[in-house]
Amino acid sequence: MNSLTLPGLIDVHTHLRVPGGEHKEDFATGTAAALAGGVTMVLGMPNTTPPLSTPEALALAHAAARADARCDVGLFAGASPQAIGQLTAVAPHAVALKIYLNDTFGPLRVEDVPTLRACFRDWPRAKLIAMHAEKQSVAVGIGLAAAYARPVHFCHISRREEIELIADAKMRGLPVTCEVTPHHLFLDQSHAARLGPLGDMRPVLGTPDDVAALWEHLNDTVDCIATDHAPHTLAEKYSAAPPPGVAGLETSLVLMVTAVVQPRAPHQRLTLERLIELMHTNPRRLYNLPAQPETRVEVDLTPTTIRNVGMHSKCGWTPFDGMPVAGRVQRVILRGQVVYEDGQVLAERGAGRLIGDA
């Protein structure tokens, strides 16, 4: 086996930084990074400046995405206590709703029950609610899924206690799903200590036991791999107050492919079929995303090393710099067009489609 062909991957958790953070990333560079990583469809998070909590802010982001995106893009609306009256007006223009229960980058945060009630009562049932929930906040999300009998998707689950709680909830038949990130699967606290601000993100990197728990549950409890691609410039990362977050779009597939063809440890093993479920089939089903006909990703299975140099993300660095992997993305074809080949992004700005804006 010296190459693999996969369907176009879907990353349901990215931060493309428009509007307000264009010096970190924009739709042109973020979607170039996506294609370089074998990702042909991304969902963008709403913690921008201003946040995507009003129809006006979403319209601004959509216009930029239409002009600049090189792969397909859909955007989340963000739950905000200040703009909760706009929830039904914003819903037709977003793929899904994001609720931040825990501390993260940016001002979106929901800590009051009336806002949570409004979200679960008024957000259209045909569209998913995703949550940033850590530790006991996962129990809050499970409780809301049960109380309102509607699906809740947990973003970037990172700890043993969280994945085990979700496994228990699934066993009881509750409508909950979850994603894990490659950085929580391949890095732990020891990397965080070595990487300093370049290894700081929310949720923070876990203990080796947390990492082992995520791998144990990868074949049953986990629904998706998503990157939480959250670029910041190196100057920001080495400033007095470094913001949390790391890039991930260009490294997720090659890391997960490594778990398929040359696992770094016996328990870090994945089948190709399962990889496709986690990075294509399940994300598409959970968020009810459109098909991309004549779309595929070709991976060259010649062992290589991840390097900062040549990254397409505007931030220009990755926490995985220097890590050996089993191969590289060689070619990406989107709707019959070669959009990436041998390190070159060939898709034009604006060639990507906007998803979910009624």
Contacting residues toward Zn ion, per CB under 5 A: 228
Residue pair 20/73 in contact (Cβ under 8 Å)? The answer is no
H helix or E strand, kind and range, residue 161: helix 160-171
Tokens of 13: 């958790």
**CB closer to Zn ion, 132 vs 284:** 132
Determine the Cα–Cα distance for residues 141 and 208; give it in Å rounded to an integer.
26
Return the bridge partners of 72, or none: 41
**Least distance between Zn ion and beta carbon 104 (Å):** 7
**Least distance between Zn ion and beta carbon 23 (Å):** 18
Residue pair 170/290 in contact (Cβ under 8 Å)? The answer is no
**CB closer to Zn ion, 130 vs 334:** 130
Residue pair 282/222 in contact (Cβ under 8 Å)? The answer is no
**Least distance between Zn ion and beta carbon 245 (Å):** 7
Determine the Cα–Cα distance for residues 5 and 302; give it in Å rounded to an integer.
14
CB atoms within 10 A of CB 52: 30
The single-letter DSSP state of residue 52 is: S
**Least distance between Zn ion and beta carbon 319 (Å):** 15
**CB closer to Zn ion, 46 vs 55:** 46
**CB closer to Zn ion, 181 vs 292:** 181
Residue nearest to Zn ion (CB): 228
**CB closer to Zn ion, 96 vs 339:** 96
**CB closer to Zn ion, 11 vs 228:** 228
| Chain CA centroid to CA 48, Å | 15
**Least distance between Zn ion and beta carbon 99 (Å):** 12
CB atoms within 10 A of CB 292: 20
**Least distance between Zn ion and beta carbon 269 (Å):** 27
